Amino acid sequence: MSLMFYINPADPIPLYAQLTRAIQFAITTGQLRIGEQLPTVRQMAVDLKINANTVAKVYAELERAGIVETRRGVGTFVCARHFEPMQKRQHENKVRDFADRVLAEAGAMGFSLDDLIDQLQSRRKKELGKYV
């Protein structure tokens, strides 16, 4: 199971952030489904060759965000509550607000909308290619 997650120790992004992003990506793309169990902290750490405390930190953050839930003595599972459909208008507003923040920050850094689109398309191909 942990093999679906990719962590690059040479990447300047902290390992916990990479793992958080990888788990969220797996859920978003359907590789991990609602109710599906994640590997144990120890197993994930061994498979990815990272510290178990790092994995525990990721699981705890995801649990606080409502993305996963831990059932004592059973394991950690993708949580259905987080993915209950929100109202379409609320969803659109959140996405628009997020896009506005990204565009404003990119503009302040001298990047154009086309620069962002090119990077996002490149990232999407790269991320999807890891799991094919």
Q: What is the pLDDT of residue 131?
A: 57
The answer to whether domain 2-83 has CATH 1.10.10.10 is: yes
pLDDT single digits (tens) 62-107 = 999 889 999 999 999 998 765 555 566 777 888 888 888 888 888 8
The fraction of the chain above a pLDDT of 90, given in percent, is: 48
Nearest to residue 18, comparing CAs of 43, 64, 50?
A: 50
Cβ–Cβ under 8 Å, residues 44 and 55: yes
Q: What is the pLDDT of residue 118?
A: 94
How many alpha carbons fall within 13 Å on the CB side of residue 35? 1
37: β partners: 77
pLDDT single digits (tens) 40-59 = 999 999 999 999 999 999 99
Q: What angle do CA 91, 99, 132 make, to 5 degrees?
A: 80
Name the residue ranges covered by the structural domains of the chain. Answer: 2-83, 88-130
Q: Which long-range contacts (C-beta less than 8 Å, at least 24 apart) are formed by 6-12? A: 6/130, 7/48, 7/50
